[in-house]
Amino acid sequence: MKAYSEDLRRKVVEAVQQRGMGKSEAARSFGVSLSSVKRYVGKARRGDSLSPRKHPGPRPKLDERARSLLEADVEERPAVSLRERGRFLERVAGVSVSESTLSRLLRRMGFSPKGGRWVRPRGMSS
């Protein structure tokens, strides 16, 4: 579910604090839950920001060390298959990832498959 905008949150707080609207009435009027109204009013009372927090999202499959090992391996051995590259990562970094995940990671790192090799376009570096 997408977070409510900061603008809507401010309007809810304004309705309760400045216009004297009840919290239940504000919840119905603005189409939000009563617990949300209570949370927004409480944040405003404490002086906290009403802006929605960023959700953390999924953790990266590879940490920085594993990414740098992968990058060095691709630079050194560009013609190795994704399957072999996955085995390499499991051996040296203890990380198991699928071939499709490896392919996506390599593309995000700036590599592209060309004629059975993973290469970086000219002028591109990490």
- The backbone region for 55, taken as left when phi is positive above 0, alpha when psi lies in -120 to 50, beta otherwise, is beta
Residue 22 confidence (pLDDT) above 80: yes
Count of helices and strands (H, E) across the chain = 6, 2
The rounded distance, in Å, linking the Cα atoms of 86 and 71 is: 13
Mean pLDDT on 37-54: 95
The residues, ordered by sequence, that sit 6+ positions from 34 with a Cβ below 8 Å of its Cβ are: 23, 24, 27
Of the pLDDT bands very low, low, confident and very high (cuts 50, 70, 90), residue 2 is confident
Residues contacting 36, CB < 8 A, separation 6+? 4, 12, 27
Q: Helix or strand or coil: residue 6?
A: helix
E strand segments, 11-123: 112-114, 117-119
pLDDT at position 21 over 60 = yes
Query: How far apart are alpha carbons 72 and 67 in whole angstroms?
Result: 9
Q: Which pLDDT tens digit goes with each residue over 60-97?
A: 889 999 999 999 999 999 999 999 999 999 999 999 99
Write out the two tokens for 16.
Answer: 């309760």
